[in-house]
Amino acid sequence: MKYANIIVNISNENLDRTFQYIIPSPLQSVVEIGSLVRIPFGKSNRIIEGYVIDIVNTPEFDKDKLKEVIDVIVDSKVTESRLIKLAAFIRENYGSTMINALKIVLPVKKKIKEKQEKSIILNISEEEAKEKLVLFTKKHQNARVRLLTELIKEKVLDYSLVTSKLNISKATITYLTEQEIVKTESKRIYRNAAIGEMSANKTILNEHQQIIADDIIKDIRNLTPKKYLIRGITGSGKTEIYMEVIDEVIRQGRQAIVLIPEIALTYQTVMRFYKRYGDRVSTLHSKLSQGEKYDQFERAKNHEIDVMIGPRSALFVPFDNIGVIVIDEEHEGSYKSEKMPRYHAREVAGELARLHNAALVLGSATPSVNAYYEAKKGEYKLYELNKRAKEAKLANVKIVDLREELKSGNKTMFSRSLREKMEERLLKGEQIMLFLNRRGYNGSVSCRACGEVIKCPHCDVSLSEHKRENKLVCHYCGYSTGLVNQCPSCGSTMVAGLRIGTEKVEEKIKEMFPMANVLRMDGDTTKNKDSYNNILSAFANKEADILIGTQMIVKGHDFPYVTLVGIMLADLSLNVNDYRASERTFQLITQAAGRAGRGEIPGDVVIQTYCPDDFSIVAASHQDYKEFYDEEISYRKMLMYPPYGQMMLIMLESDDYDSVLKYSEYLAGKIKSDIITENFKAIIIGPADANIVKVSDIFRRVLYVKAREYEKLVYIKDYIENNLSSDDRIRISFDFNPMNSI
């Protein structure tokens, strides 16, 4: 006997209200997760429809009291059915309950009041208006004068702006409306994230681009879409290819999803989509409210948009016939969810594409080692673009050995070479970008006498100095305290910021070049909704000479006047105990270098490092992906790291260190004794303390399991969930092929 858990009113809020029904034997082969079925409901047994969200073998209730599913509405193409199937995929592959997986794929229904935008429009010609203005001025009718003056300039004004900022009364507006001097108009507006002007002329693809686009389009037309990976250097024209493919999909009446790492960081890309598709494109981003998000999903459902751009959650937009899913900057870490269930957007997109018979197109200048490996194996069709679309020269890259700088007495964070080049650019009025990886760079404070680092009392991390606010802040739990002037350990007053952060770089530049205008972009300066755009557009408008920033500034921006990029300390991403440290270093440097010389003027890149011979830094300085890949893949193979082996992180957390210590030993022992055999090979690494052993007073231990096959890891995860009843004080979670070192 099989039983179906059914929800009758599908929405994120109703997930806890499931009803169980018997699946009668003739239907057992047809009812599946996601099926839309008819059931008798309530006392009166009226017949309603519901979605099957789970199928189980044992009933939760007395089975004599359960009713039977009547039949299946055969239409597996229902959007909701597919989303439920996607949730099932997430549950299977990432270790999650069905409810939690459904919460991810189903939108939160939050209807917000329709926003009416009213505007005031000039209803007479400009000349007539000027005559009226003279008249009103003579009569000292100041409110009328104010409004008309503005309207002559702008023609259309926002109603609320007129009443608030211009301080114009309703009576004035009514009077002018009656005189037919102005009129008001209102229309329902969707809270669209950005609106651009459409431009009719689209780029003609060059032959390299055209070959790729044609190939993908041919497969889509033949209804045999595949998975594709485009490795193309920055500026080689990948985005234009995506748009060409999307055009075809739209012609077929189908829809497209475009994933980008984070809207604010790829604002220029988004604007290009707006220019091409106008209001048929919409965006999701992390700073939208639930209501705004819901609006966008409603529009998608009503076929008002064809293209949805957004971060990984854009995969769950309720489109009913997806033709292509694009993942730009495929290698980005943000495609992996950092919350449970920790799904990877690339894998979930693969499943979604399968459900819709859609193409999946990945693009990157520096593909993840995993994706490139898969492509070489034939899982993806691989295309390579090695030339920039617009004739722009690749930058000249110079590696500076910081050890040599120190030897010759330069103790500052700017090498002589970087400083000279900066001077030169400032003189010429060209722009500079300075990049500083944030990892490990939170400007921690330490005692110069005894070496004591000032730490958060709740977490095993150092506090960061925030000079402007005169505070020390914990970036993990938010704890903050005043600046410390005396070492808590030895009492010395020689307490100072230990390392440089973006703020320090800014300070130093102001000292070196007091005339330069400097902008800084990092987690601290981009807390509000508009701050990214404000900083980026200010820099694009040449309102500043130098932009200093973390990872955020290296992605996807096109600044034609930037001719110098400085990488302050390339080693930062390297000295991390994570098997992907080299991959990240290569990606960051290559991307940062890609920012230089986008326009007519060739650019320079200066990489400052203590490890000038590291292969990832050297390969990045040549912008040679294959040189990097060949070295990296042989190392992965030797050590059985992904893609040659699969990894699962088991994280154990508790407020009591002893309990979590004991439990981690017990669990490792159980896996070894109960599961691992001659025929079931897997390697256990650990248990050990997490890199950061304490966060918000919770202690963390980790255990890694390595195996050749992913299925084995899933088996171990299931075994733990089903057979090892854990201590109430221990929380267990899983992360498959983790992206962040814990």
With CB cut-offs between 5 and 8 Å by kind, which of ligand ADP, Zn ion, none does residue 490 bind?
Answer: Zn ion
Task: Please choose, out of 192-200, 227-235, 445-453, 630-638, the segment that lies near ligand ADP by the rule CB under 6 A.
Answer: 227-235
Residue 479 binds Zn ion (CB under 5 A): yes
Residue 458 binds Zn ion (CB under 5 A): yes
Name the residue among 393, 391, 325, 382 with its Cα closest to residue 211. Answer: 382
Q: Which is nearer to ligand ADP, 101 or 588 (CB)?
A: 588
Structure tokens at 496: 């100072």
Could you give the CA distance from residue 281 to residue 284 in angstroms, rounded to a whole number? 10
Q: Are strands 604-609 and 562-567 parallel, antiparallel or unpaired?
A: parallel
With CB cut-offs between 5 and 8 Å by kind, which of Zn ion, ligand ADP, none does residue 205 bind?
Answer: ligand ADP
Based on C-alpha coordinates, what's the Rg of the chain? Answer: 30
Q: Which of 35, 93, 96, 234 binds ligand ADP (CB under 6 A)?
A: 234
* Count of CB atoms situated within 10 Å of the CB of 300: 24
Residue 211 binds Zn ion (CB under 5 A): no
Q: Which is nearer to Zn ion, 663 or 699 (CB)?
A: 699
Could you give the CA distance from residue 48 to residue 632 in angstroms, rounded to a whole number? 57
Q: Which of 209, 415, 502, 737 binds ligand ADP (CB under 6 A)?
A: 209
Q: Which is nearer to ligand ADP, 172 or 364 (CB)?
A: 364
Structure tokens at 725: 């009843």
Q: Which of 10, 104, 308, 474 binds Zn ion (CB under 5 A)?
A: 474
Q: Which of 84, 217, 314, 459 binds Zn ion (CB under 5 A)?
A: 459
Residue 471 binds Zn ion (CB under 5 A): no
Got the DSSP string for 605-620?
EEEEES-TT-HHHHHH
Helix residue ranges per DSSP H, 112-187: 126-138, 142-154, 159-164, 170-178
Could you give the CA distance from residue 32 to residue 51 in angstroms, rounded to a whole number? 10
SS (HEC) of 182-219: EEEEEEEECCCCCCCCCCCCCCCCCHHHHHHHHHHHHH
Could you give the CA distance from residue 355 to residue 371 in angstroms, rounded to a whole number? 21
Residue 235 binds ligand ADP (CB under 6 A): yes
Residue 205 binds ligand ADP (CB under 6 A): yes
Q: Which is nearer to ligand ADP, 231 or 706 (CB)?
A: 231
Nearest distance from C-beta of residue 27 to ligand ADP, angstroms: 49
Query: Total number of residues binding ligand ADP (CB under 6 A)?
Result: 15
| CA neighbours closer than 13 Å in the CB half-sphere of residue 487 | 17
Q: Which is nearer to ligand ADP, 234 or 431 (CB)?
A: 234
Task: Please choose, out of 134-142, 217-225, 415-423, 448-456, the segment that lies near Zn ion by the rule CB under 5 A.
Answer: 448-456
Residue 202 binds ligand ADP (CB under 6 A): no
Nearest distance from C-beta of residue 238 to ligand ADP, angstroms: 3
Q: Where are the beta strands (DSSP E) in 513-612?
A: 518-521, 546-549, 562-567, 604-609
- Contact predicate 49/73, CB 8 Å: yes
Nearest distance from C-beta of residue 450 to Zn ion, angstroms: 3
With CB cut-offs between 5 and 8 Å by kind, which of ligand ADP, Zn ion, none does residue 374 bind?
Answer: none
Could you give the CA distance from residue 340 to residue 325 in angstroms, rounded to a whole number? 23
Nearest distance from C-beta of residue 607 to ligand ADP, angstroms: 21
What are the Cα distances from residue 705, in Å, to 634, 645, 676, 681, 708? Answer: 21, 10, 11, 10, 10
Residue 591 binds ligand ADP (CB under 6 A): no
Could you give the CA distance from residue 581 to residue 584 in angstroms, rounded to a whole number? 5
Q: Which of residues 337-396 bind ligand ADP (CB under 6 A)?
A: 389-390
Could you give the CA distance from residue 110 to residue 291 in angstroms, rounded to a whole number? 5
* Apex 581 CA angle, 350 and 638, nearest 5: 80
Nearest distance from C-beta of residue 310 to ligand ADP, angstroms: 17
Query: Total number of residues binding Zn ion (CB under 5 A)?
Result: 15
Residue 18 binds ligand ADP (CB under 6 A): no
Task: Please choose, out of 129-137, 160-168, 483-491, 528-536, the segment that lies near Zn ion by the rule CB under 5 A.
Answer: 483-491
For tokens 């221990």, the residue is 730
With CB cut-offs between 5 and 8 Å by kind, which of ligand ADP, Zn ion, none does residue 489 bind?
Answer: Zn ion
For tokens 């459900």, the residue is 355
Q: Which is nearer to ligand ADP, 200 or 204 (CB)?
A: 204
Q: Which is nearer to Zn ion, 484 or 512 (CB)?
A: 484
What are the Cα distances from residue 161, in Å, to 115, 122, 181? Answer: 15, 15, 18
Task: Please choose, out of 90-98, 156-164, 230-238, 606-614, the segment that lies near ligand ADP by the rule CB under 6 A.
Answer: 230-238
Q: Which is nearer to ligand ADP, 205 or 668 (CB)?
A: 205
Nearest distance from C-beta of residue 541 to ligand ADP, angstroms: 17
Q: Which is nearer to Zn ion, 461 or 684 (CB)?
A: 461
Name the residue among 387, 377, 338, 381 with its Cα closest to residue 363. Answer: 381
Q: Which is nearer to ligand ADP, 98 or 241 (CB)?
A: 241
Q: Which of 489, 493, 575, 634 binds Zn ion (CB under 5 A)?
A: 489
Task: Please choose, out of 20-28, 316-324, 446-454, 563-571, the segment that lies near Zn ion by the rule CB under 5 A.
Answer: 446-454
Q: Which is nearer to Zn ion, 73 or 450 (CB)?
A: 450
Residue 739 binds Zn ion (CB under 5 A): no
With CB cut-offs between 5 and 8 Å by kind, which of Zn ion, ligand ADP, none does residue 237 bind?
Answer: ligand ADP
Residue 456 binds Zn ion (CB under 5 A): yes
Q: Which is nearer to ligand ADP, 215 or 460 (CB)?
A: 215
Sign of CA dihedral 85, 90, 95, 98: negative
Name the residue among 226, 224, 230, 262 with its Cα closest to residue 243. Answer: 230
Could you give the CA distance from residue 265 to residue 310 in angstroms, rounded to a whole number? 11
Residue 240 binds ligand ADP (CB under 6 A): yes
Sign of CA dihedral 593, 596, 597, 601: negative
Q: Which residues bind ligand ADP (CB under 6 A)?
A: 203-206, 209, 232, 234-240, 389-390
Q: Which residues bind Zn ion (CB under 5 A)?
A: 447, 449-450, 452, 456, 458-459, 474, 476-477, 479, 487, 489-490, 492
